[in-house]
A and B are shown apart, each in its own frame.
Chain A
């Protein structure tokens, strides 16, 4: 039985409501980021890039951490369900998108503050390495084999790759770097930011987190459908070969 109309989608009433909330938050973020919040004393209006740059890398960290948690859950004896692998794959793909956004927006911000789009600085280089690692993770997921083989090998890779996140985050303290230290999530827990600027940054983090949840919910359902359709195609191919062999 093939569903039609309202059923032929990966959405539910809950995801539609969440999508609506995300749209409202995005509009508020753009208004607050581009108009309501004040310019920075040192950086001027270029600080407005922070409201999309920081939430992007935050979502990337969160996505890769979720990938690792789901991969660990898959490898644990009690919870070996391929559903964990689907969430891990969906989360990693979204993480790659957001780390790419973070690299591009950071590059534009760098051109305005440092006078160059790119330097082989510790933070930038480690972030680029993080991006390449997870592109590799996505490539490994596309290698052949059964769903369990895919889940096992990508889970092992995800648990190794997640170790890069502390390296990227603390690179500005471990090495001399052009990149500024964390404004909020710093070891001194000292936040020196105007109220509306801090509000806009927090709004960005909340908006991008809600957006991430919406994307993961949809993408992991799409992966389930991809697996189902691929499995059915394989079953049909096997049945067809058996019929051919029986007819001879």
Chain B
């Protein structure tokens, strides 16, 4: 594949940044959920 470094870099940057953000959201959610009651979490 020609220009493989640019193409792979664009995929790595895309999926890497989205995965990092998703991991941060899930981790932060877990941390805060431990400090909340069931009544404060309508989705449970």
Contacts and interface: CB of A to CB of B under 8 A. Distances in A.
B38 A3 contact: yes
Contacts of A112: 3, 6
Nearest to A94: B21
A128 B15 CA distance: 21
Contacts of B32: 222, 225-226, 228-229
Contacts of B38: 1, 3, 7
Contacts of B33: 3, 7-10, 225
A97 B21 contact: yes
Given A222-B29, A222-B32, A111 B6 contact: yes
A45 interface: yes
Interface in B1-44: 1-4, 6-11, 13-15, 17-18, 21-22, 25-26, 28-30, 32-41, 43-44
Interface in A32-52: 33-34, 44-46, 48-49, 52
Interface string A81-120: 0000000000000100100110011001101100000000
B7 to A, nearest CB: 5
A215 interface: yes
A44 B9 CA distance: 17
A219 B17 contact: no
A100 to B, nearest CB: 7
A2 B41 contact: no
Interface string A36-79: 00000000111011001100100000000000000000000000
Interface of A: 1-4, 7-12, 26, 30, 33-34, 44-46, 48-49, 52-53, 56, 94, 97, 100-101, 104-105, 108-109, 111-112, 211, 214-215, 218-219, 221-222, 224-226, 228-229
Interface of B: 1-4, 6-11, 13-15, 17-18, 21-22, 25-26, 28-30, 32-41, 43-44
Given A9-B33, A44-B3, A222-B28, 10 more contacts: A11-B26, A33-B11, A45-B2, A97-B21, A104-B10, A112-B6, A215-B25, A225-B33, A225-B40, A229-B35
23 contacts: A2-B34, A2-B36, A3-B38, A3-B41, A8-B34, A9-B29, A9-B30, A10-B29, A10-B33, A11-B26, A34-B8, A48-B7, A49-B7, A52-B15, A97-B21, A211-B18, A219-B25, A224-B40, A225-B33, A225-B36, A225-B41, A228-B32, A229-B35
